[in-house]
């Protein structure tokens, strides 16, 4: 028996740092949206009682750092299923870009293994396991868009209108989250950016780490967009558009300019995963 799921990326349409806890974790308030840039998680039951994981194309992520493996191991140890699983992870969402690909993959793995192993877990129960894996993981199991608060563990549906299409630009370099937060803590005062419409308090820190981000944001902002933003701690940037035609025109213009990095038009999704049906 086998099944497969799409694991969607996310955009932080806003990200405000609201404080810092005694344990060092930052608290935040963020409007988060699932979008249709996706990885795929393929699951196949195997007779050997073990977890096998293969990442394509040719990614070598140690198992202890791979959230998909950790998700499978978490359910495996808790429920001791009779069958093992072979997991093939097809990656398309860029790493280190603030798009949440690893967290999304983990959420999709939890949903898929719940069905593959017949565990019968509710969404609330799956969310409790997701919270053990990372702050972003529960979002991908619930409704989108959503308000994310606390350290990412408090979620509620967001009754807001969101633009119908976004142009995402991922520069050819990552912005490691721990480094961005370290630099944020060293800033003398908060200076949100990159635009008033899509506020992100981590923007100044990301610029300190990667000053060339400003050039990419300016290139993206040349189009008549509704605004330009940065997702998560970067390096991914996005521009919002009111319709497909203007977004496609902006994409063509940036391609003609030979802008470095990856460009992708994305649209909102109502949740962070979907089953792939035969």
Place of tokens 């396991």: 129
- Burial letters for 112-135: b for 16+ Cβ neighbours within 10 Å, e otherwise? bbbebbeeebeeeebbebbeebbb
128: CB partners within 8 A, 6+ apart: none
Instruction: Let me know how long the chain is.
Output: 278
Residues labelled catalytic: 10, 136
Total H helices, total E strands in the chain: 7, 14
Are the CB atoms for 143 and 271 separated by under 8 Å?
yes
Integer Rg of the chain from CA: 19
CA distance 122 to 125: 5
Are the CB atoms for 30 and 15 separated by under 8 Å?
yes
Judged on CB neighbours under 10 Å (0-12, 13-18, 19+), 65 is: exposed
Are the CB atoms for 201 and 189 separated by under 8 Å?
no
Question: Packing angle between helix 67-79 and helix 101-116, nearest 10 degrees?
Answer: 30
C-alpha dihedral (183, 186, 191, 192), degrees to nearest 10 = 40
Place of tokens 């992708």: 264
């Amino acid at each position: 028996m086998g099944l497969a799921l799409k694991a969607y990326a996310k955009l932080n349409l806003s990200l405000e740092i609201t404080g810092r806890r005694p344990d060092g974790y930052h608290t935040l308030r963020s409007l988060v949206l699932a979008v249709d840039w996706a990885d795929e998680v393929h699951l196949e039951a195997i007779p050997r009682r073990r977890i096998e994981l293969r990442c394509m194309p040719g990614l070598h992520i140690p198992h202890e750092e791979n959230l998909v493996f950790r998700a499978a191991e978490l359910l495996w140890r808790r429920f001791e299923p009779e069958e093992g699983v072979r997991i093939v992870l097809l990656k398309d969402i860029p790493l280190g870009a603030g798009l949440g690909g690893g967290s999304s993959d983990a959420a999709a793995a939890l949903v898929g293994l719940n069905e593959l192993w017949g565990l019968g877990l509710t969404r609330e129960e799956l969310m409790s396991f997701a919270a053990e894996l990372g702050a972003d993981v529960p979002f991908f199991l619930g409704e989108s868009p959503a308000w994310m608060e606390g350290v990412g563990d408090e979620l509620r549906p967001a009754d807001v209108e969101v633009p119908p299409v976004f142009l995402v630009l991922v520069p050819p370099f990552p912005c490691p989250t721990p480094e961005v937060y370290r630099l944020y803590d060293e800033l003398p005062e908060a200076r949100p950016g990159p635009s008033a419409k899509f506020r992100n308090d981590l923007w100044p820190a990301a610029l300190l780490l990667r000053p060339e981000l400003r050039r990419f944001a300016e290139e993206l902002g040349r189009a008549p967009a509704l605004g330009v933003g940065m997702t998560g701690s970067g390096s991914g940037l996005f521009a919002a558009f009111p319709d497909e035609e203007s977004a496609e025109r902006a994409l063509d213009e940036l391609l003609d300019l030979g802008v470095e990095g990856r460009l992708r038009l994305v649209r909102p999704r109502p949740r962070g995963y979907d089953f792939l049906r035969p």
